[in-house]
Amino acid sequence: MRIQRALISVSNKAGVVEFARGLAEMGVELVSTGGTAKALADAGLPVIPVEQVTGFPEMMEGRVKTLHPKVHGGILADRSKPEHMEQARAHDITPIDLVCVNLYPFAETVAKPGVTLQDAIENIDIGGPAMVRSAAKNHASVAVVVDPNDYEKVLAEMRASGGSVSEETRRQLAVKAFGHTAHYDAMIHAYLHSTYEPAEGSFPDHFTLANTRVQTLRYGENPHQRAAFYRDAGKQGPSIGTAVQRSGKELSFNNILDTNAALELVKEFEAPACAIIKHNNPCGCARAEDLVTAFQGALAGDPVSAFGGIVACNRVVDAAAAEAMTGDATFFEVIIAPGFTEDALPILTEKKRWGRDLRLLEVPGWDGTPGKCPEHPEYDLKKVAGGLLVQERDLRRLSPDDLTVVSQRAPTPEEIEQLLFAWSVVKHVKSNAIVLVRGNQVVGVGAGQMNRVGSVEIAVKQAGERARGAVMASDAFFPFPDGPEVALNAGVTAIIQPGGSKKDADTIAAVDAHGAAMVFTGVRHFRH
């Protein structure tokens, strides 16, 4: 199929002049609109304004310019059907063989601080998606190009074939085009659904996702699984999706999964904090007056498990922190932080065993303070066979005023502080989840066990003597007093848990018998 006429109308004008020049050099007639037509004309290219084709001027501030039979008839005419071509001739419709269109910058517009609804509405493209979909539908006869990265590929194929684009290439371009418009509509749907403030607890009838592939990964959780990483087009603020890799090897599927878990944990804290994640669970977490001390506390929580783990910090990593992290007995896959000082980078990237392998991720625009609950709830997604579970993210935080003292002894102010720290950590541990904390440092974790007392036993064993004087958090209620008994016998002095079990009275009695303190939250943090 030889390209004889092309319609070019783009918002992203990167490379479009060079693309159009290449088409013109092969004798392709250029039709264009508005700013694109001006850019091509300014570059000295012969261009036919779309109003010359349609016989109508652009009107209504550019809202109407390509919605016309002489445009869409030229794109949609099926060249294999004589009646289509006869109708085109009868109505003076010239076939359009190539459509080069990308859409108004909706995502960029709604990402701007203070954007108004009117600004967003004006950046909803109508004519562009219509032309893209028309061309993609008729890809048996028309090539559609929506991605500037494809310009050179199309030109090279045309030069090699005497001006033609192959059927296989047209198919690939059509698939990409429908993905482009689907992604665009999904962004608009998500924005308008959140902006018009649906009723509390309301979910859209159709759940759409707008994600862009960032990279194809070497493999998934296991080498026999293919995988890719996609970025949420609407996500703002600190996240693994907005992080920038500064150094190191390519991230793996498991790296990304664990780095996300580490970052979300340290986002809980105001003070300098560090978390070390292994297999999506924290094996260490601490907060302190400075990042070095926080890292040392996190590492001491479980130095054996920490080896080969993921480190997240809520402060810029300086040289002192970099020296501590790259000690002789340590090794980490990833360090993610708001940034790295210039004198820290050589320490992290040039040391033997570190520079080649260690991945450094920077979270731009983040000052290290806790992520605030969004104005409109974010969604947490869990894929199941044949469906998708959707829920609001678990962003609930507690203050001392949210706690109900149920024991005879009330916790001391210091215990309250440690209990809330433990509560922030236990939210990020796989259920059944138990966390022991002492001195702003996690000293024991029990994760993912089928019964809660088993998680307590694991956490207490890991803590050892450090359990004496520690506090304990449980992500859900204790069905029996056996779990608390294990902790109390090991020296735990205070417990935080949701409460709500039929056996709460028995658990409270056990706590009182040890002279310990216990508070209920009324909130649980299951994480499956």
Supply the residues annotated as catalytic.
137, 279
**For residue 54, what are the CA distances in angstroms to 66, 90, 97, 173, 249?**
8, 15, 17, 26, 54
Of residues 200, 152, 204, the one with CA closest to residue 20: 152
Q: Side chain identity at 494, as an amino acid letter?
A: A
**How far is the C-alpha of 466 from the C-alpha of 88, rounded, in Å?**
84
Phi, psi at 97, each rounded to 5°:
-95, -20
- Cβ distance 451 to 490 under 8 Å? no
Of residues 311, 286, 304, 309, the one with CA closest to residue 296: 286
The dihedral built from the CA positions of residue 461, 466, 467 and 473, taken in this order, carries a sign that is negative
**How far is the C-alpha of 71 from the C-alpha of 55, rounded, in Å?**
11
Q: Write the CB contacts of 402 (distance below 8 Å, at least 6 apart in sequence).
A: 521, 522, 523
- Cβ distance 363 to 243 under 8 Å? yes
Of residues 244, 312, 248, 235, the one with CA closest to residue 280: 312
The dihedral built from the CA positions of residue 173, 179, 184 and 185, taken in this order, carries a sign that is positive
CA angle 220–226–232, rounded 5-degree value: 70
Q: Which residues of 66-95 are buried (b: 16+ CB within 10 A; e: fewer)?
A: bebebbbbbbbbeeeeeebeeebeeeebbb
- Cβ distance 475 to 426 under 8 Å? yes
CB count within 10 Å of CB 189 equals 16
**For residue 164, what are the CA distances in angstroms to 145, 157, 208, 287, 442?**
14, 7, 36, 63, 65
Burial (CB < 10 A; 0-12, 13-18, 19+), residue 454, is middle
| Cis, bond preceding 432 (omega within 30 deg of 0) | yes
**Sheet strands (E) in 370-426:** 379-384, 387-392, 404-405
Q: How many CA atoms lie within 13 A of 469 on its CB side?
A: 7
**How far is the C-alpha of 273 from the C-alpha of 421, rounded, in Å?**
11
Helix crossing, 482-489 with 504-513: angle to 10°?
A: 10
**Strand pairing partners for 213?**
230
Q: Which two tokens stand for residue 53?
A: 């084709």
**How far is the C-alpha of 309 from the C-alpha of 304, rounded, in Å?**
10
- Cβ distance 280 to 305 under 8 Å? no
